[in-house]
Structure 1
Amino acid sequence: MLKKMLSVLMAASMLLSVFAVSFTSASAAESPQITGVTGYAESEDPTRVMGDAVDGNTETFWHTKFNSNEVNFETDTKNSYYLDLGAEYFVDKFEYVPKQRADKNGKITDFELYGTLDTDRESAEWSLITTVNGWTYGTSGEGTESHSVEIADPKPWRMIKITVKGSTKNDGDPNSFICAAEFRVFGTEEPSEVSVWEYEEVGTDSARITKYNGTDVNVVIPETIDGRTVSSIGAMSTSTSVFKEAYDKGVMIESVEMPDTVVLINQHAFRGIASLKTVNLSQNLTEIRTSAFLDCSSLEKIDIPATVTDIGNNAFIGCEALKTVIIRGKNTYINNEGASAYTAAFGFMEISQKTKIEGITMVGVEKSFAQRYTTTYPHIAFMTIEDYETRPELMWEYTINESNKEARVTKYLGNDVNVVVPDKLEGYDVVAIEEYTFKDAYDKGVKVESVVIPDTVIFIRDNAFRGLDSLKSVTVGNSVKTINRYAFRDCTGLEIIDLPASCSTLSDGCFIGCANLKTIIIRSENPFIDNAGASSWLAAIGFMDITQNEKIEGITMVGVPGTNTEKYTQKYPHINFMSIEDYERGGILGDVNGDDELTVDDATLIQMYIVGMPVENFNVELADVNEDGQISIYDATLVQIKIVNK
């Protein structure tokens, strides 16, 4: 029904040169009753069958079985009844007509209404549409008046289920009964947007949304309503939010998606919607007016396009969770970047600016109004758009544990093949690289070649790098304690890895299948290496597969003598051991021929060198075995002693 707001409209037309009238859900024709409905009852008396409740005749009625106690609301026994609509309809109203007799028996007081798109009621998946409690009939239950429930956000259903939870009873009757003269369902085969939105006409072809009547917490504003383009949100002169009534009824709106047809957000349009977390703005928006998002306390981020020329005073005041404000326009004016009291747009809990909101970052263009705003209010940090869009948070998926104040990377999203894992995300230390962190990128063609792990990381989890055959080098941070199962399995391009002293656990299979990994440096003085003690299937290093059927030859494990690193090479003698000291010196003292082991050949070569005989490939630095600054017969003798004691 058109609202005749002529005096207001005349004034508005003078000021705005538009003709605006208001439509509400009542302005559209009421949806028709769906005809051809058939019914099925879990309980019915042979003389009062379910068909009597859908025959269009209020003189007949359906009744559960007379003189029976088979209906039980507490155990949900024979208390569900089904309506097949014959096709899919957007159901927006359900009406119940009790039997037209002045008695108390079997009139529905409480029920749940369900819908499904399936046609088989027994196998159908049912969705709750609404719950109704407390219908009454006259003063004592003998009335015959009809009741109905309107459904604010219609969805398509093929079948409707009525599960009755309570009904009236005759005095003294121990049994429960249910009856109906008519079950009526109303709806259309196409959705009606007018039932969800109220709006005002603007000019000949635009609409200004003024009220949301829906129940969806993730709201998508339509581009058009009744053929009109939605150009603005919020009434021209009101302090009431478009979403207030729905919010007050318990619709905890979490997100709003705005079409690019919207050019204006009017004052107070979203005010006080404390549940609102995200808003995707129109890319053609030009103005956000006074108090538009005032007290949207859960809003975490807002990205304002460059098309916006003006952000009104108090627009985002009271948004205590709003820590990221992106303003893409260099000339977007922000109240009050040059600031008198009561007019700031961001950064305070109340319009009087008594309480600052700390931890806000305003992202924008250098030398813009946005940057000047942060100069006026220095508790707000400034970051350029370029820096913001290349920050680590965009390159990774991750989880945050606020109680432990830590982050864990779960997926690499970048395209760089030389990867630096960030030490912090959202200000929290990155402590773990989780399972299959690099798999998705690798499968998409990002052949990661090198990875630098920061000193904050403690755990490299199962399968974290598994299958990255392009990976050639990994720099492991000085805090890593654990490399979990299969963490680097089948990284066939990896040739060397240097593990810090903090790394005390190498789990089973962590380097299995690394065919070219020939040098593994383990600096821990007390490492646990699966399986230094070893039963089959658990080796960490030195085999192509977990069954240990194929050895990888030519591996040297570098570590502290006498620790599990050396014991591992004793368990698997195809792996050589070298002390860290020897490795950093460039080889084993006495191994003058460079074959990574002490043999009689080395002693012989030293003796030949001493007497002046020609020798080839002789490492003079390793010949001074006793490190006295001379190469003598004592050095050759020490090599022989080491060979005997080996």
Structure 2
Amino acid sequence: MRTLRLISTTLLMVVLCLNFTFCSDGNEVKEDSIILLADDTQQELFFSEKEETKEIKFTSTGCWYAFIDYAPEDWITVTPTEGGAGENAIFIKVNSNNPYSDKRGRVCIATLYQTIDIVVIQEGRECTQNIEVAGTLDKLLGTYDIHKLKLTGYLNGTDVATIRKMPLTEIDLSNVNIVGGGTYTVHYNRGSIAGEYKGSTSDNVFPSCFFYNKPIIQSVVLPNTITMIDDRAFAYCENLSSIVIPDGVTKIGMEAFDNCKGLTSVTIPKSVTEIGSDAFRLCESITSITIPNSVTKIKEGAFWGCTNLTSIIIPNSVIGIDKYAFGKCSGVTSIVIGNGIKRLPAYVFSECTNLSSVIIPANVETIEDAAFENCSALKEIHVKSSIPPTVNNSTFSTYSHVVLYVPTGSKEAYQNHNIWGKFGTIVEE
């Protein structure tokens, strides 16, 4: 192998030397000629599956030569193939890609002593397949090398196993019916804990761990008929950018979108009643999320570590919220809590370090340990109950620089309270 590489390198240098010997008139061959790309990001070019041409602009201080280093036959065309000093451009054209898999190649722009590699990547065409009998996808396709897939028909656990073997970036399941039956196995490694999950499908439930730890998946269109997204369905899909949860889904399971760090937007329908533990934990790119007025339960750590959320509005429908639900949402500046909440649990808003204002409704009777721990930017707390809610010494981390607003006629009750009375300024409103 080393001998072949040496021969290839030697031949390349001979070809370059011959080309530079006959470099275009008026251009001096310089040993120190250099090339500067106008856009360094173009050292990796991405093309759709269709025929397409892209321009590469660059500056050269002397003669240069462009060539295809490697590529499938008759796929890439480069023009022009040589030039001289000054501002230049080459055009890289790719033919349409009929296979389902991506194609890769490399184009080089070279001087006598410098070579710039341009990696060419073209995505494969979308594969469309109807599954009349659940569990037969493997036989229908005959290949796993598929990047874009659109399915219709019936899908079970056996088909989930087939799909998990594919290097998918996009999948459309909108017209799929998930049915019970078939099995699949998912291997996981969480820190020092390794193991495997053996799953099967249930009717109209998006399966547990379906896309668990599939970081290359970017786009998923969910089946229109599902009523639940099961546990860890998309956990650690770090490049998944957006998700629309269809009408009819009532529950988002535990860790369903855990560590989907690239997720920027989520649409939660009005049918959802429960958001599971750690459902959106560490979805660091989400800037806003609307919790519909159908949700009654928000479980432990549901939005923990969503550091780019700027505001939180908990609707009146929510009657249960668990600890850490919005902990470490460090970008949040304001929180509105619905009238259905009677208890704010431990650490529920802890480490919301940019939180400046919070409204606590009249129905809240208890605020537990460290609920607002390390909310160092807090400036205003508006409590709507004339009877001071039960708190303890660790509920808040700061008192002296916070203005506490209380209902008219209740200032004395708050001032005389052993903890609420610690606030530096208490104002009736």
TM-score (norm 1): 0.34
The structure, 1 or 2, with the larger RCO (C-alpha pairs under 8 Å, 6+ apart) is 2
TM-score (norm 2): 0.46
